[in-house]
Amino acid sequence: MSLVSLGFVAIGAVAGFAFHRLVGCRSGACVIWANPYAATGYGALLGLLLGAGR
């Protein structure tokens, strides 16, 4: 994994956590966004997918 891909993963993780904190899911019915660990992992996964080809 290159440093660029690792940077995308880190940015994705921070963005996922920020989305959880700022928007999130107030009712708790949203499986991904109600849990901060799941939101961070999902953001990191999206960052990995976006940065994989770079």
Domain count, the chain: 1
Q: Tell me: the pLDDT tens digits for 6-31?
A: 999 999 999 999 999 898 877 778 88
Q: Report the distance separating Cα 18 and Cα 13, nearest Å.
A: 9
pLDDT given at position 44: 95
Q: Determine the pLDDT at residue 26.
A: 77
pLDDT tens for each residue of 35-44: 889 999 999 9
- Total-model pTM: 0.84
**Residue 13 pLDDT:** 96
How many beta carbons lie within 10 A of that of residue 29, not counting itself? 8
What's the pLDDT score for residue 24?
Answer: 80
Domain of residue 46, residue span: 3-51
**pLDDT for position 52:** 84
| Cα–Cα distance, 51 to 26 (Å, whole number) | 31
